[in-house]
Amino acid sequence: MDRELALEFARVTEAAALNSARWMGRGDKIAADDAAVKAMRSMFDTMNIEGTVVIGEGEMDEAPMLYIGEKVGLGKGSKVDIAVDPLEGTNLVAKGMNGAIAVLAVAEEGCLLHAPDMYMEKLAVGPGAKGVISLELSVEENIINVAKALGKQVEDVTVVILDRPRHGKQIMAIRRLGARIRLITDGDVSPAVATALPDSGVDMVMGVGGAPEGVLAAAALKCMGGDMQGRLVPENDADMARAQKLGIEDVSKILTLDDLVKNDDVIFAATGITDSELLKGVRFYKDRATTHTVVMRGQTGTVRFIEAQHFFAKKPKYVKMEG
């Protein structure tokens, strides 16, 4: 893929973030997601790529835009597979909470795992702990291994995990061991990426979350030299059938980083919608808005943080108060 594409993909996530951020705190996650999807889809239409959405908003009959299998781009240029989550953290935006991002990953055809829309058990760390984690090990063993790799005491290791009843045993195990926990309500892509940033305060992410989000996080960690493992968690026969339809025969297989993202020719881009450990959220001013975006390229290991100003074409409208 041409390196110039990296900055073009930043414009895609910026557009999604800007449009979704207007809905922050308004209690309507569907409208917030719809705004992000439409903005992202329209930006793809301007790009010189021949893209196929392999992870998106759902099947063709479930999503009008950015559905799995949809062709995007101008139909010329690089042939790429695209994974998107126009709004990762719909509840976070609806409630005005931290951690929402607009995110995508792009790779050569066939290089991204076509993850079905189901749960995945995940374990993610940054470069300092690469090679020491395994889903075959216990919670305690993984944390001890990461602590040793990072040169930290166990009680100084910070683990991020979704605050869900299904994680009750894991949370208790972490607390018994004495490690620190940061519970999150939604959105595990951002903290997974943050494990690779030395000043983020996040050392590990573990627990069961969305499989598509797992591939997005893996793309970023591939670019940054981190590590990740995943294992699909089907809940019923429909999940099993969905996985097999996408060519995954053994749903119990532990998926390594190279299974999730097959080579280094990958681009990851994310723009903050609300504040997180990774990115600042969208800020609105009198005549402009600002965005904070990270763009990564796997082939070179380049990580760029972009702070952009977007000036309004028209003056904002104000509500006239009576009396």
Locus of tokens 């291994």: 145
Instruction: Write down the CATH number for the domain with range 4-110+266-311.
Output: 3.30.540.10
Across the range 307-312, mean pLDDT stands at 94
Model confidence over 153-189: pLDDT tens digits? 999 999 999 999 999 999 999 999 999 999 999 999 9
pLDDT in tens, 185-202: 999 999 999 999 988 999
Whether pLDDT at 15 is above 80: yes
Query: Sheet holding 227-233: strands in order across?
Result: 180-184, 158-162, 204-210, 119-125, 227-233
Please report the sign of the dihedral spanned by the C-alpha atoms of residue 33, residue 35, residue 36, residue 40.
positive
What pLDDT does residue 4 have?
80
Helices 4-21 + 29-44 axis angle, to 10: 150
Whole-prediction pTM = 0.92
* Same fold for the pair 4-110+266-311 and 119-260: no
pLDDT for residue 322: 62
| Residue 268 host element (H or E) | strand 266-272
CB 101 within 8 A of CB 189: yes
Residue 53, Ramachandran bin (φ over 0: left; ψ between -120 and 50: alpha; else beta) = beta
Q: What average pLDDT does the structure give for the chain?
A: 93
pLDDT tens digits, one per residue of 273-297: 999 989 999 999 999 999 999 999 9
Give the β-pairing of 49-55 and 78-88. Answer: parallel
In Å, what is the CA distance from 145 to each residue of 150, 179, 224, 236?
9, 12, 20, 34
Tokens of 93: 């935006």
Mean pLDDT (whole number) for 66-88: 93
Would you give the DSSP letter of residue 1?
-
The phi and psi torsions of 245 (rounded to 5 degrees) equal: -60, -30
Assigned token pair, 238: 């429909």
> Regarding predicted confidence, which is higher, 106 or 322?
106
Q: Where exactly are the structural domains of the chain?
A: 4-110+266-311, 119-260
Cα 5 to Cα 105: distance, rounded to the nearest angstrom:
12
Cβ 159 vs Cβ 204: under 8 Å: yes
> What is 48-63 written as a DSSP string?
SEEEEEEESSS-TTT-
Q: Which two tokens stand for residue 85?
A: 């989550």
How many C-beta neighbours within 10 Å does residue 79 have? 14
The answer to whether the beta carbons of residues 122 and 209 sit under 8 Å apart is yes
The answer to whether 208 touches 235, Cβ cutoff 8 Å, is: no
- Note whether 188 and 217 are within 8 A (CB): yes
Say yes or no: domain 119-260 is CATH 3.40.190.90.
yes
Q: What is the mean pLDDT of residues 125-135?
A: 98
